[in-house]
Amino acid sequence: MSKTPPDEFSFQQPTLLSPARKELSTSFHPVSSFLGLLSGIILVSGLLSLAWYFAKNEASPVLTLKAPETSVPQQTKEAPVSAAYNSAVVGSPKPMIGSLFETQKVSLQEAAMMDVFRINQPVGKIYQSKPLKELPTKSIPLQPNAPLYLEAQQLLKHYQSETRLESKCLTSNQSEATLEQMKNYYVFQNGSEPLISQQSRGFLITMGETQIVQLDFPCSNRPDGLASAFFHRTRANSLLLDWQAYVGYSSLSWPEYRRTKPQTPIWLRAIASAGDYYNYEFSDKARYLCVKLTSPDGIHKIYGYVPRAVKLADILIKRLNYEQLDLTGSSKEMMKVVVKTTFHYPAESDQCVNIRGIILDRWFHFDWETEDKP
């Protein structure tokens, strides 16, 4: 047999197959997958936080730090502390008045002063407001050896021994206002102290729960020859002197009062006696009652007039003994008064005034007695 292939036969080259492709592994690893997911979340959150932070800074204004002020703040006027200010707390806001309300704190010293002022307030509702009904009033004589008598006498000696006004005012029951009034009285008004003797007599005046000790002294520089010192019992159970009543203080000196002729009501401490001077706007004796008003030192005098139709005129006629004046031309009756007066408008004289109100028999008074309502 022939091994030669036939002519139509073609030799086929062997086909080379490409190497078999290696298949990826399909096995699953859960721990590696979780860590990868967590890292992605943290990365995305960090990027979002940075974006929000820079966006916020661009929208908000930049705050600059200012150095603390070293200048002294402008002071505003302190409001007077009222009797209702029961206690002062250190560091609490200080009461202020005025156009500026600055936050100022009560210091330890101011708190102590406020507490001193509080406990030195006189005892009794009558000091704050007018009683709804008249309080029963008693005046009991005090023996020279009575504790109240001795306490009042010792306080007055202490007042007389002090030479500085700042120390004198501390013996007064209105020490907060008394210092300025003392300066006005002694410096500008040239006021004088009562020149009293050592002999005296004492009384205890009670008005409800209120206690007032009165000491009367012969006095050489008072028209009626008498000086009275009043002492008020305080919350601290001590006595304090009524300085205004003791010296006969008025907010205006008598020469200044006559010179300025105020038409607004002015309260004066004076000594009243029966008068018989009718002139200028008050020439009609049938219409007016004349009251002679003498300054506490006895140097100055003016004449006050009350319409005879009012009840006050009847009281004054009896108390000042106008009957003796009509019979003899003079009357020795004198009475200490706190009197509210006004000049006529226009005033023809500097010594004739209207009497608008009067507190009889005493130079001490309660605040509500001299409050002028509009």
- What string of pLDDT tens digits covers the 374 residues of the chain? 444 444 444 444 444 344 444 444 444 455 555 656 666 677 656 666 665 555 555 544 433 333 334 333 343 333 333 333 334 444 455 554 444 444 556 566 555 555 555 667 888 889 888 998 888 889 999 999 999 999 999 999 999 999 999 999 999 987 677 899 999 999 999 999 999 998 889 999 998 889 999 999 999 999 999 999 999 998 888 899 999 999 999 999 999 999 999 999 999 999 999 999 999 999 999 999 999 999 999 999 999 999 999 999 999 999 999 999 999 988 889 999 999 999 998 999 999 999 999 999 999 999 889 876 43
Q: What is the per-residue pLDDT for 371?
A: 79
CB 334 within 8 A of CB 316: no
Q: What is the per-residue pLDDT for 292?
A: 98
Claim: this prediction has a pTM higher than 0.95: no
* Rounded Cα–Cα distance for residues 285 and 208 (Å): 41
Beta-strand pair 301-307/352-360: parallel
Q: What is the per-residue pLDDT for 128?
A: 87
Please, is 283 exposed, middle or buried when counting C-beta atoms within 10 Å of its C-beta (0-12, 13-18, 19+)? exposed
Q: What is the per-residue pLDDT for 374?
A: 32
Among 123, 124, 96, smallest CA distance to 110 is for 96
